[in-house]
Copies of this chain bind each other. A is one copy, B any other.
């Protein structure tokens, strides 16, 4: 066995390739990339300039080059596509699955797009792509591919095998065959395993399974992910309103969606407003970070206004000021914990939900328990350090109130965002801490004012 396995991209290898490009040493390039998996070549090209990459792609087998292009990150690919002629792009698209091809065409400038489509050799492929481009990116229709194997319910296993043979080049991954009637309505599914084990002459209708899980073209991608996860599917057929078979979604697309979701959630929780990575430019990184920093800053000035109202009290009892971070930090921590638990419930799409009232009671109970424990601890430390009973009572009381308020705001905000169609993870980010800073300070000084 040739050891393919994972390919370790070294700086030296990349440098030697770059050198070969400069020197026009094409033999070296062809030789060193021979037999390398396209995913590894893709990874290598992410580090190259567009011209260097084009040089390499031109030396590769078209099939491999097409796979490489299809695997590139969106940003990199957009840059790439600009240096290719529409005919060149069309040539690669012939080798790319319709779902990825539609994504790529969406990245091409609208003017060039028409040219690319009209240059695609297979008119069926071109039709498929145009059809797919009609769907939103984040519904089942937007992630499905048109490539699939279907069999009429009246066919024999041999006829179906023949169909697989004819489509073998177009459909690279086959898990099962979808069974349809004369109107292309989805009736069921036959696994490849069953086909292989069937006797000669067996009819599809005698071996197919009626119980097939399908999704609709307009189902949200989150729903598709949830369904494929729940039922452990490696592919799911996509049907339209009339139950006609329109395409299929494979698990690798779902894995991509899950990766994107995880990244989006991480960025929302961190208050990063664009999809950036460490190797983006200083300017892009700044632009992605500054909006939430500004919102946090402005929020803090509201907090400053609240504190300003009590300037006279602070001048008299300056210890009051030293507990400000205690109030804001605890409020923020509690709110983020609460919201992330709600986000998790929403992400898991749990079947039952307790009634709103029961959930609220539970949130308040947890908050009370946490609040009282923290208040006792805070009271003990502050009394031990300062020996000021009044201030200690104020701090403990305010802390309990802040914990309860933060729990409520942290629980309610993601639910509201979700209802509004906004990713609820946004509630676990700087928004909730900013709101709770202001709330917390208001509570703290009000308690102080009332108890003094």
8 Å CB contact of A251 from B39, B255, B279:
B255
- Report the Cα distance A187→B3, complex, angstroms: 10
User: Does residue A174 face the partner (Cβ distance < 8 Å to B)?
Assistant: yes
- Kindly name the residue among A261, A307, A319 whose own CB sees the greatest number of chain B CB atoms within 10 A: A307
Q: Is the CB of B43 within 8 A of A234?
A: no
Query: Scoring A residues 362 to 395 as 1 if CB is less than 8 Å from chain B, else 0, what string do you get?
Result: 1001100110011001100110010000000000
Pairwise interchain contact B308-A319, C-beta atoms closer than 8 A: yes
Residue from B304, B312, B373 in contact with A326 in the complex, judged by beta carbons closer than 8 Å? B304
B229 touches A297 (CB 8 A): no
Number of identical monomers bound together in the oligomeric complex: 2
A83 near B: Cβ within 8 Å? Answer: no
Interface range on chain A (Cβ under 8 Å from partner) = 35 or more
* Contact A325–B345 (Cβ < 8 Å): no
B362 touches A37 (CB 8 A): no
Q: Among B173, B325, B382, which residue has its beta carbon within 8 angstroms of that of A328?
A: B325
- Chain B residues near A202 (CB-CB < 8 A): none
B325 to A324, Cβ gap below 8 A?
yes
Contact A210 B43 (CB under 8 A): no
Q: Which of B47, B269, B301, B359 contacts A278 (CB 8 A)?
A: B359
* A231 & B39 in contact (Cβ 8 Å cutoff): yes
B263 in contact with A266 (CB, 8 Å): no
| Set of chain B residues within 8 Å of A329, measured between Cβ atoms | 296-297, 299-300, 303, 328, 433-434, 437
Asked if A304 contacts B322 (CB within 8 A), the reply is yes
Confirm or deny: A342 has a beta carbon within 8 angstroms of a beta carbon on chain B. yes
Are A168 and B186 in contact, with the CB atoms below 8 A? Answer: no
Within 8 A of B (CB), among A307-352: 307-308, 311-312, 314-316, 318-326, 328-330, 332-334, 336-337, 339-345, 347-348, 350-352
Q: Is the CB of B332 within 8 A of A433?
A: yes
On whether the beta carbons of A278 and B231 are closer than 8 Å, the reply is no
What 7 pairs between A and B have smallest CB-CB spacing? A270-B340, A321-B321, A300-B326, A307-B322, A304-B322, A303-B325, A9-B351
17 A-B contacts, Cβ less than 8 Å apart? A6-B213, A192-B192, A261-B262, A269-B340, A270-B341, A270-B428, A277-B345, A278-B345, A282-B369, A290-B370, A297-B330, A297-B374, A300-B323, A301-B326, A301-B378, A304-B382, A307-B324
Q: Give residues in A with beta carbon < 8 Å to B.
A: 1-2, 4-6, 9, 11, 14, 35, 37, 39, 43-44, 46-47, 161, 164-165, 168, 173-175, 185-188, 192-193, 195-197, 210-214, 227-232, 234, 243, 250-252, 254-255, 258-259, 261-263, 265-267, 269-272, 276-279, 282-283, 285-286, 289-290, 292-294, 296-301, 303-305, 307-308, 311-312, 314-316, 318-326, 328-330, 332-334, 336-337, 339-345, 347-348, 350-352, 354, 359, 362, 365-366, 369-370, 373-374, 377-378, 381-382, 385, 428, 430, 433-434, 437, 441
